[in-house]
Amino acid sequence: MAEHIDSSGKQIHTPVMLERSIELLAPALEKPGAVLVDATLGMAGHSEAFLDRFPGLTLVGLDRDTDALAIAGERLARFGDRVNLVHTVYDRFDEALDGLGVDEVSGILFDLGVSSLQLDRVERGFSYSKDAPLDMRMDATSPLTAEVILAEYSENELRRIFWEYGEERLAQRYAKKIVEARQVEPLTSSAQLVAILTAATPVAIQRNGHPAKRVFQALRIEVNQELAVLQRAIPAAIDRLEIGGRIVVLAYQSLEDRIVKRALVAASSSTAPAGLPIELPEHRPELTLLVRGAELATDDERAKNPRATPVRLRAAERTRRAG
């Protein structure tokens, strides 16, 4: 992952598609009193750039990760009362804004998936390449961990999440082997899980990629309820956009991108019944899409910042208030 060094000597990861995100959100953020919600604050790389670029901007930063909030708080301290940070999951969008007395917002940014901070801290257990406890919580105050799932879920439940959230073709085989293994000893480390999955994977399939990749993705999504949260969050976010407000979403895997696409396409489509000769005002779309389909990072950015390789960007502008 691409990095630069900040003034304190710490390594800071390069935000994905930063300039493109700024370009798309700029028309909504240039006016006085604009409010931007960074719904996935992380280490605040995107947010810091927006606050620097738009001197009149106020930020609302949301994150479920208390470690990330602490780092972001230090990084953004120089902006003073222009910054409001909230420890919350982003589907509690309305609650966070209501708590700050904010009605409508000018811009919204979602940078989905696991953060660089979470990947780099081995003890969090997100990476299959390093041995660590089977944790995978984005919010360390949450009770559900990957270890609990592997110990308590039935074989059918494990198979379901590996298939639905990891799109893993060997879901049934992996679920069976995990249940067999946990009857011998508790599964507490990522190395144990990787060994089980590797042993259960035909050598020919292993040549196509690490056998643990999709299972770890599925466990992470289940631990953090990422897809269910996202399904609730995008419509809630759209509802809080002012007229002329804009939303940008960066997704890193197909399941996330599918949810985002459905929500934005639905809100940018007419609701007029088929055959109606005239589209009434109440049937007009609420959003206008700003990019055609999903936009990819440039070849140059992917070369400089490998984390940008799978990203899919979607963006829209609010053109009408529902109802």
Q: Which residues are annotated as a binding site?
A: 44-46, 63, 90, 111, 118
Q: Which residues are annotated as a binding site for S-adenosyl-L-methionine?
A: 44-46, 63, 90, 111, 118
Residue found under tokens 């759209």: 238
> In the β-sheet with 312-318, what is the strand arrangement from edge to edge?
83-87, 58-63, 35-38, 105-111, 241-251, 312-318, 287-289
HEC-encoded secondary structure of the chain: CCEEECCCCCEEECCCCHHHHHHHHHHHHCCCCCEEEECCCCCCHHHHHHHHHCCCCEEEEEECCHHHHHHHHHHCHHHHHHEEEEECCHHHHHHHHHHHCCCCEEEEEEECCCCHHHHHCHHHCCCCCCCCECCCCCCCCCCCCHHHHHHHCCHHHHHHHHHHHHCCCCHHHHHHHHHHHHCCCCCCEHHHHHHHHHHCCCHHHHCCCCCCHHHHHHHHHHHHCHHHHHHHHHHHHHHCEEEEEEEEEEECCHHHHHHHHHHHHHHCCCCCCCCCCCCCHHHCCCEEECCCCCECCCHHHHHHCHHHCCCEEEEEEECCCCC
Question: φ and ψ at 189, to 5 degrees?
Answer: -130, 155
